[in-house]
Structure 1
Amino acid sequence: MTSCDFIVVGHGLAGATLAYVLRQRGYHVLVFDPEPADTASRVAAGLMNPVAGKRFALSWQAAELLPAAAAFYQQLEQRFGQQFFFPAPIFKIFGSLDEQRAMLARSAEQPWGDFVASLTPADPGIAGVQAPFGGAWLQHGGHVRVQEMLDALAAEGRREGWLRRETFDWSRLVTDAAGLVYSGQVQARHVVCCEGAAAVLNPYFSWLPLTPNQGEVLDVECHDLPTAQVLNRGAYVVPVGEGRFRVGATYRWPPFADGPTAAGLQELSERLQVITSRPFSVVKQRAGVRPAVRDRRPLLGPHPTVPGLSFCGGYGSKGVMLAPRLAALLTDWLEGSAALWPDVDLRRYASHHAAANRA
């Protein structure tokens, strides 16, 4: 029988970052993940943005999450000799005078001042960019090439034998006196579910308030658009190299379409036309399902009744910002050296598990 310290189920952003942190701390980790498909992690543009939504709200825990994420991805770059993280200013385009005034008032306050490099109340004259009301230049953000990063980690895992390209069958997990045993072949001290949106079907964690939503993105060619910044107004426009940009994303609630849709193509094309006057051509369209949570906070921590079983996920559209710091936090908790933050501790939903058991 194979023995390990941790089994990690899933190798998207949540699982890959957690498995890496655990291995860096000297633990024997085994990861189960089927052949990659268009999951939310692999489709995402990997935007790290300190500001969220139309209300220009500061992203949750941005001051702690952003530097931790940047340091993590830079460490992976050194490991693999490949660039994954691209620091870049984000130009948040004002859509109206009201938006402009709201941002001008808010940006003078701390901690806003740490993330706003400058404001322009007039069109800054970026070639091909339509910004008649100006915009805000945001700093300490950028974007991550998530698919390339996951592929590099997976290739290492296959070479070293810690990644198995298999679907984990939860019905074959049993509790043993020494820990958990999977399929009668692997014994682990702890198992962590990092299945993303698929966790809604997990027999141990289906009670969690995950509310998956589907997002679509476009890869477009637009050779006349500058690549020195990320653009954001109702959609993000992230440079991905060779005159191409990733544009996203849509939000669709169940029932989900089977892959990309004509409606998604139209919606994103129209949003891009608001941002740029330059002609563009769509070269690819992809769709993935995000593992969102009702209160918009991640879910970390132990199963209420099964010792040695935990959950890590619910990152929604902020995975690249959240995953590195929360992987370290969960590892600290697993080691007994830190408590989980109340905002992310899944035990805040203990009543849901109790209600599911009564049903």
Structure 2
Amino acid sequence: MKDALIIGQGIAGTLVSFELLQRNWSIDVADHIEPLTASKIASGLYNPLVLKRRRVVWKAHEMINVVEKSYRTIEKLSGENFLHTTPVWESLPDPGTENDWMSLSDNPHFEDFIGVILSPSNDAIKAHKVGEVAKSGKVDVTTMISAWSNYLYSIQSKIDVRIDPEDLVQRGNHWEYKNQLYKNVIWCNGFAEEHPHFGQLPFSPTKGEVLIVNAPTLTLDHILHGNVFIMPLGGHTYKVGATYSWKDLTPTPTLEGKETLLEGWNKLVNAECEIIVHQAGIRPNVKDRKPLIGSSHIHDGVHLFNGLGSRGILMAPWLAQNFADYLEGKAELYPEVNVNRFTA
């Protein structure tokens, strides 16, 4: 018998499996190949601020203290480098926004995260000034997921299969999948408005679109954020994102999405770009914008770690630690993310 079957290996499943392996749990991780999941096209950007609203992310101080340690350990175990701690530059297009940014540094809640204000030496950047977001950076999500998948294969803990709830058989307090018993089943597989192990779940999924572009005349070393973000990928290749749509939940890129992203690009930089790839994915957002974590009120031994939305890279390491503590009876889940706020 193994301790846990984790279903899904996006950002959520990767961090939960990592945390449980750190605690010497015996696990299997089941996932099937889908080229364009939300995790696989995620920007990988992490920062402690809601930049458009000038707010600090919920529990940002706690989360940011865990981010680098967790991802560096995954890098060491997997033998791949994917964490980049180059900070985000927030576009400050005029003196008014510069003054607003400066005023945030006087707020004790913000002071850890407000970096220096710089005058761009790069003529391609249109902003009057840029404000550095301290303790921000990016994770190459595709590389991380692939590297961790290979690590799971190497320890014989990865199963290439799609598992649906009906594929599992309850055996007393345990669960069986293809003659293997598990003490726990943990669903980390993206949004599903109804789940037989949890009932109706309050997902409010959003479609996000991104562009991968080539811009031969642009040399940018930092992530630049304004109406969109522009993220260097190496050479003169950049990722531009991301849109939000609550109406069209198909994984098909749209003309409207492309035009929105190109408009954002043109507001931030003076540089022509050629589109290489246009991608779309569905984020598992929740109606109150907090994750869904906890245990089924219907079946024993069934758990959920889901709904990370667009801040999964920031949230997942810290929440995975709390979730593992909860599974081991060492802590309660944070009520803001406990799934029983909707299902109890």
- Code of the aligned partner of 1:153: W
> Hey, what's the Cα distance between the residues in 2 that align with 1:111 and 1:101?
17
The Cα offsets for residues 188-220 of structure 1, whole Å up to 9 and x where unpaired, read as 1010110112x3253223512111111011111
Number of the residue aligned with 1:171:
166
- Code of the aligned partner of 1:89: P
Aligned positions, number: 344
Greater shift after overlay, 218-227 or 19-28? 218-227
Number of the residue aligned with 2:154:
159
Q: Is residue 88 from structure 1 mapped to residue 81 from structure 2 by the alignment?
A: no
Q: Identify which of 120, 124, 145 aligns with 1:124.
A: 120
Greater shift after overlay, 71-80 or 241-250? 71-80
> Hey, what's the Cα distance between the residues in 1 that align with 2:2 and 2:218?
50
Shift of 1:270: 0.9
- Code of the aligned partner of 2:326: W
Contact 1:127 1:225 in 2 (8 A): no
Number of the residue aligned with 1:58:
56
SS at 1:136's partner residue? strand
- Code of the aligned partner of 2:137: G
Q: Is residue 43 from structure 1 mapped to residue 5 from structure 2 by the alignment?
A: no
> Hey, what's the Cα distance between the residues in 2 that align with 1:257 and 1:334?
35
SS at 1:104's partner residue? helix
TM-score of the superposed pair, with normalisation by structure 1: 0.91
SS at 1:112's partner residue? coil
> Hey, what's the Cα distance between the residues in 1 that align with 2:67 and 2:137?
11
Q: Identify which of 172, 183, 187 aligns with 1:189.
A: 183
Contact 1:227 1:239 in 2 (8 A): yes
> Hey, what's the Cα distance between the residues in 2 that align with 1:201 and 1:124?
49
Unaligned runs of 5+ in 2: none
Shift of 1:263: 1.5
The Cα offsets for residues 171-203 of structure 1, whole Å up to 9 and x where unpaired, read as 1323222412235x2211010110112x32532
Q: Which has the higher helix share?
A: 1
Q: Is residue 113 from structure 1 mapped to residue 107 from structure 2 by the alignment?
A: no
Contact 2:232 2:238 in 1 (8 A): yes
Number of the residue aligned with 1:357:
none
TM-score of the superposed pair, with normalisation by structure 2: 0.95
SS at 2:261's partner residue? helix
> Hey, what's the Cα distance between the residues in 2 that align with 1:25 and 1:61?
24
Correspondence 1:191-270 to 2 at 5 A: 191-197=185-191, 199-270=192-263
Percent identity (aligned): 29
Q: Identify which of 311, 324, 349 aligns with 2:304.
A: 311
